[in-house]
Amino acid sequence: MAETMTTGLKLGQRVPDFELVTYEPSKGDFGKFSLKDQIASKRWTILFFYPADFTFV
């Protein structure tokens, strides 16, 4: 299985705004992630993609 995985994003460039629905273990509730909010609150973001729940990460 060969993958052609190239991201259109370039290092040093602005990432287009995006939102994701989240589960927040610290609150035991659902929430929302938004890049715009991160920029507004001047926080770094580490995005950590993985294949699937119930597997090793």
Residues lying near another protein in the complex (CB under 8 A): 1, 3, 5-18, 20-26, 30-31, 33, 35, 38-39, 42-54, 56-57
Q: Tell the smallest beta-carbon distance from residue 2 to another protein (Å).
A: 10
CB 21 within 8 A of CB 12: no
Q: Which two tokens stand for residue 44?
A: 């770094």
Q: Tell the smallest beta-carbon distance from residue 10 to another protein (Å).
A: 7
DSSP, res 24: E
Dihedral sign computed on CA atoms, order 4, 5, 8, 12: negative
Q: Tell the smallest beta-carbon distance from residue 47 to another protein (Å).
A: 4
